[in-house]
Structure 1
Amino acid sequence: MKALGSFAFALVAGANAIVTRWAPCCFHLSASGAVTGTVGQLDDGQNRINGPLAPAQFCIADGAITDAHGRGCIITPGVTQYQCDNGVPPASGFSIGCDGTVAYNGVTTFWECQTGDHGEANIYIHPGGINCGEITLKADS
């Protein structure tokens, strides 16, 4: 009987682990490096560092990030900007390390480029404008 109880406990614990693994993990982002600050969003889904924007909430599941409005977060073709768009499936390839460091396709280096708008900076995976600097993104818990 003791073996049956242990088996049942292991089965329930294993089932809970499976549910937890597939559940989305939600977080806020902050940047450090050339600029330091929290990541907020414009109404159109552009992710920006600093300025008067409230911290944005994101969720990751299976390597894909969505924002609190359900928009898919992508790396835009061409300019490689990190933003979240309506009606677009989220890009895969994102991960969050044990220390909260965000990576895209295994690379933890991102770039900020100043917008000239309220001290805000857009986020890119490659430097693509003027006044750009290297940053690291971290997720909180």
Structure 2
Amino acid sequence: MERGTPRRSPAKLSADTKTTKSALHRCGPAGDNLMKGYKAPSFQDRAASSLQAKEKALAKLKAMPQPDAAELAERAARQAERDAVAAAKSAKAREAREEKQRLAEEKRAQAKADKIKAEQPKRTEEQLKAARDARYAARKSRK
């Protein structure tokens, strides 16, 4: 029905209209023109539908134009560029990891040296004077 036109009940429809009473859905005791329930498709129906979809997708894929050699070369060049960038990035990350590990090892070595130095007994003034005199004597003998 068009917009703006009032709906008419089936009893008020006249013979000159295109819609007749028999074309209307009736729900009555006779049960004619009742809406049928949902019928689930069988396995064969689903398999056939799947096969049709696969064939349609394959036909669509075959219908696509094939890339020419220049386009393939361009794609390969872009992929090589992306691979080079990725390799450089991974190398930079590996160097950063190695540098971080090296710094951690140096820090551990320094801490170990500090611990050993702290554990050494304090030298007395006499020992310090003897070490100083020994250095002085060594310097004098080199001249």
**TM-score interval w.r.t. the shorter chain?**
under 0.3
What TM-score do you get using the length of structure 1 for normalisation? Answer: 0.23
Higher normalized strand content (fraction of residues): 1
Q: Larger relative CO (CA 8 A, sep 6+): 1 or 2?
A: 1
Higher normalized helix content (fraction of residues): 2
What TM-score do you get using the length of structure 2 for normalisation? Answer: 0.23
